[in-house]
Amino acid sequence: MSNTKTWFTYLLRCADNSLYAGVTTDLNRRIDEHNHSNKLGAKYTRVRRPVKLAYAEKNSDRQSACRREYVVRKLSKSKKEQLTQEFQLNNVIK
């Protein structure tokens, strides 16, 4: 069995309008964990619920996803907002 899962780098929009970056292989499960689990959700998002997906991109492996997450985290808030706007336009999120 090959280990060829698709990894995602993502940004979540928190209730306080802040953005949280992370990586996962299952976006729906991870968003659910951020919103409902005090053990599996990130400490940062626990006090900023509810969160919703603001941006996601596919990566070929975990290493690539983590590298991209590092780059995204270092972006200015305005650059992160630009990513989310482009994502929304491309995916027609309502």
In a domain, 2, yes or no: no
Question: Is residue 1 included in any domain, yes or no?
Answer: no
The enclosing domain of 35 has a CATH number of: 3.40.1440.10
Q: What is the pLDDT of residues 8-63, one digit of tens each?
A: 999 999 999 999 999 999 999 999 999 999 999 999 999 999 999 999 999 999 99
- Is 72 part of any domain? yes
Residues with Cβ within 8 Å of residue 20, at least 6 apart in sequence: 11, 12, 14, 34, 42, 44, 45, 48, 51
Question: Could you tell me the pTM of the whole model?
Answer: 0.91
**58 closest CA partner among 26, 19, 94, 88:** 26
In this prediction, residue 1 carries a pLDDT of 45
State the residue range of the domain holding 57. 7-91
What's the pLDDT score for residue 3? 58
87 belongs to a structural domain: yes
